[in-house]
Chains A and B, each alone.
Chain A
Amino acid sequence: MRHTLGIDCGSVSIKFALLCGDEIVGKAYLKNRGLIATVQEGLRQLPQLGIEGVGVTGSGREFVKTLVGADYTNTEVMAHVVASLSRYPDARTILDIGGEDSKLMLVKGRNLASFQMNRDCGGGTGSMIETIANRFGVKIEDVGEIALQSKDSAVLPGKCGIFCQSAAVSQLSKGRPTSDILMGVCRALVGNYLAVLAKGKKLLPPVIFQGAVAQNQAIVKCFEDALGYQVLVPPDCAYMGAIGIAILTEENMNGQPTKFRGDAILGSNHRTEISHCDGCENNCELLRLYCGDELLGVSGSRCEKHNQ
């Protein structure tokens, strides 16, 4: 069996999944502390197996593609759907909440039929819970457990994370127990998610919920309460983007050799250079990635002029 690596390069965290057929043989989850350093660290944590295909997804995919020498890229929406359908072939509704984005995907006949992503704002994403949990001195992994102890959850606004935090703090000043407030935050987040993304759409079961936020049991419960169905959370919910892009890469390799740069990625001689192209009014911001003196690639250009 071939080994395929999927990298999901999100704005908050970077996820790695090494697949051998359908089986996950290695995975890593790291906070995004700069793309080059985090990707290097992630690769060090993976088992040393011959990688025969690499796919990248997420908002940083263009840059990381150059860095690792990826064979395939696609958007995080496609990656999530493919991963979900590989585990739950009959899924009809896929909910995904990540650090700074949220997505809703509807499936018909095992094909993605429509999708929605959050637009202008990051309200109703994982960062909102994390910020408020920090304010309360609660670890993000403990939020779900504490919130589930609530007997009477607070009613909080979910549209804006900052307003939600103010309302949460004012509830705290009134002496409301932390569990009620955290449950209120979870409910507000789910309410906002459904209002922004699910407008007028029927969410049919089976409902799959993935993304790192799906580890929060209180959010799962809020979704179940709101939808009236059981919500299924895959065991590797935080890695689904990485798993999906690995599957897609495997599908698209067609027996070609991989462009993966291997150990060369771990070198400390990578540097980037930012410049502006003055070829037209677009004034594209170009990001050049060098390894030593060798130019690996240019990202950020709207035209083909800088593609090699």
Chain B
Amino acid sequence: MGVIGLPRLGIYSPVFKGFFESLGCQVVQPSKVSQEIIKLGVMNSSDMICFPYKVTLGQEIWCLEHGATDLIMFSTHGRCRFKHYHQLQEQTLRNLGYQFKMRTFSGKNFLPELIRITGASPTNLIKAMLRVLSQVGEVEHKAYDGTRQHPLRIGIVGEIYTILEDSINFDIVRKLQKIGVHVDVSIKLSDFIRKEFKLDYFRKRAEKKEARQLLREPIGGHGFCSIYNTAWYGKHGFDGVIHLLPLSCMPESTIECLTDQLAEKYNIPIYRFPIDENNFEAGFNTRLETFVSMLKRKKRNEAHPGN
């Protein structure tokens, strides 16, 4: 059994680290996606590939430099190019001269794959996974539910890694919470798990139907989710929507005009942050502050027309 290198996933990073450790594995995981890690990823990626690819590649290099022998990379069978990432990254890392095993699993084959990776018995594995599920609920409750009394409510839609990894989105959720905004994240890990196991069939059905009229075929990634979640926020009295996506993200940039259209229809302002290594925090903060300030003024003026 080797040392597992595990990329981060925002507030869930310790949960996954704990999962492998509880099954007796040794794990290395960066404590933050630092500028150094981003640089490592950017230097070894093609220019126009999405930012999560670069960031996870950078973390894999970091893990290998810190003693990892086995890399874990999630894979999906979806239609976005993410499904190829583990293979592309494996090739890139081999070309760089690293020796390692690339371990990948998806929602479909995770049980046998995880047993093979960890060497744990099925019973122990299932117990550990149930622990993960309850911990996911706990961290989400701690991160998102404490601000429900805040007067302004913003929903976040977009690409899952950009939304969840706080060190690449400039910790947008905490920043908003600090200035009096309640943030609803439309694709938390729990939502992702529900979607992966088709347990979200009855959720937001009217909005999904509406979205399907705009986009008949699935587009991959979370593009379809961004469309119906924008409509959902618009219909449920939210004050604004923030669309987070990696610059050049295929699904999310394709559906931009559809989310704009729905935002217009439901009279809910939407602001889009395409994120890549060239963003700088001061500019990001100015946009974020302005958006919030704009929503506050809109709300105040709508409450007291004539002022």
Q: Which A residues are closer than 8 A to B by beta carbons? A: 59, 74-78, 109-115, 117, 119-120, 200, 281-282, 302
Contacts and interface: CB of A to CB of B under 8 A. Distances in A.
B283 A78 contact: no
A110 B278 contact: no
Interface stretch (B11-19, B61-69, B204-212, B291-299): B291-299
Max count, chain A CB within 10 A of own CB: residue among B32, B270, B290: B290
Contact of B257 (A110, A113, A200, A282): A200
Contacts of B297: 78, 111-112
Given A111-B298, A117-B287, A281-B34, A74 B293 contact: yes
23 contacts: A59-B282, A75-B290, A77-B286, A77-B290, A77-B294, A78-B293, A109-B301, A110-B301, A111-B297, A111-B298, A111-B301, A115-B290, A117-B283, A117-B286, A117-B287, A119-B274, A119-B279, A119-B283, A120-B278, A200-B257, A281-B32, A281-B34, A302-B171
B269 interface: yes
Question: For the complex, would chain B's binding face be called helix, strand, loop or mixed by DSSP majority?
Answer: helix
A281 B31 contact: yes
Nearest to B30: A281
B168 to A, nearest CB: 13
Given A111-B298, A120-B278, A281-B34, A75 B269 contact: no
B289 interface: yes
B297 to A, nearest CB: 6
Contacts of B286: 59, 75-77, 117
Contacts of B31: 281
Q: What are the 10 A-B residue pairs with the smallest beta carbon separation, nearest first?
A: A281-B32, A77-B290, A75-B290, A112-B294, A120-B278, A111-B298, A75-B286, A75-B289, A78-B293, A111-B301
Contacts of A109: 301
Contacts of A114: 269-271
B269 A113 contact: yes
A75 B294 CA distance: 10
Contacts of A110: 301
Contacts, number: 48
Contact of A78 (B260, B269, B271, B294): B294
Contacts of A74: 289, 293
Nearest to A58: B286
Interface string B122-161: 0000000000000000000000000000000000000000
Interface in B234-274: 257, 260, 269-271, 274
Nearest to B175: A302
Nearest to B286: A75
A74 B294 CA distance: 11
B80 to A, nearest CB: 23
A78 B289 CA distance: 9
Given A111-B294, A119-B274, 12 more contacts: A59-B286, A110-B301, A111-B298, A111-B301, A112-B294, A114-B269, A114-B271, A115-B290, A115-B291, A119-B278, A120-B278, A281-B31
A113 B297 CA distance: 10
A145 B271 CA distance: 38
A283 to B, nearest CB: 9
Contacts of A281: 31-32, 34
B273 to A, nearest CB: 10
Nearest to A117: B287
Nearest to A113: B269
Max count, chain A CB within 10 A of own CB: residue among B171, B283, B286: B286
Contacts of A302: 171
